[in-house]
Copies of this chain bind each other. A is one copy, B any other.
Amino acid sequence: MEELEEYEYRPKNVKEIFIEMKNTAELMVDLAYSSVLFNEEDIAEEVLELEEYLDLLNYHLTVHAVLAARNPRDAEKITSILQMAHAIDDVSNAAADLAKMVLEGVELHPVIREAIMESEEVIGRFIVAPHSVLVGKTLEELDLASNTGVWLIAVRRGKRWIFAPDGDFKILANDVLIGRGTQTSIDYLKELARGIMKVVGNE
C-alpha cells in the first residue's frame, strides 16, 4: 500500500518525533470527525493506520528518551516529554474510537452529524470545478490556511485518497477537498472551488 510506505519510520531525533506525533494526532482528530460526518470508511481506516504509526513513533520516542537520561535532573525533563507523548497518544486513541464507530457501521444519531456541521470549527467538502481558480495550483502557491482560513485535511482524487497533502500537491479539476475552518471561511473556499470567486486571499 502506498500509504504505508509514506509512514515508514525513518530515524529522527526526539524533537522531530515529537513534532510528528503532535501533527499526526491533530490530523487524526480532523479525519475522525470527517469520517463520521461523511460516513467515509476509507478515511476511518486511515485514522486507524495513523494510530499504528503514532504508536511506532511513541515507541521510538521512548527509546530515545530513556537513552538520553544521564542524571536525575535530565530524567525529570525527559519524563516530561514522555508524559506529553502519553497525552498525545490519548488524543489519538479517542480519534481512533470515533473512526471505529464508522467502520463498525454503528447507526449514528443524526444529532452527531448536525453537531459536527454546526460547531465552531466546521468541516467542509469542496468539489473543484474545472474552471476554478484553484486548478493547477500547488498548496504552497495557494496557502489556503492563511488566505482562506481553511485547513486542508484530505483530498479524494477519483478513488484515491491523499491525506495531509503537502505544499507540492497540485489541485486538479474534480478533486474533492476536505477541510476545516469557520463557516465563513468554508463558504469562501466553496465559492473558490465552484469557480464563482476568482481571487484567492490578498492576491
The interface of chain A, by Cβ under 8 A from chain B, is 14-15, 18-19, 22-23, 26, 29, 32, 36, 73, 76-81, 83-84, 86-88, 90-91, 93-95, 97-98, 101, 106-112, 114-116, 118-121, 143, 145-149, 151, 181-182, 184-185, 188, 199, 201-202
Contacts and interface: CB of A to CB of B under 8 A. Distances in A.
Contacts of A148: 146, 149
A73 B107 contact: yes
A186 B46 CA distance: 29
Main secondary structure of the interface of A (DSSP, over half): helix
A88 B94 CA distance: 7
A92 to B, nearest CB: 9
Contacts of A93: 90
Nearest to A118: B19
Nearest to A148: B146
A116 B21 CA distance: 11
Given A83-B97, A91-B91, A119 B76 contact: no
A107 B78 CA distance: 9
B97 A19 contact: no
B146 A182 contact: yes
Contact of A19 (B73, B106, B115, B202): B115
A29 B22 CA distance: 11
Nearest to A149: B146
Contacts of A73: 107
Contacts of A107: 73, 76-77, 80
Given A80-B106, A81-B109, A146-B184, 13 more contacts: A18-B115, A19-B119, A26-B121, A76-B107, A77-B109, A80-B108, A80-B109, A81-B111, A87-B97, A91-B94, A94-B94, A146-B182, A148-B149
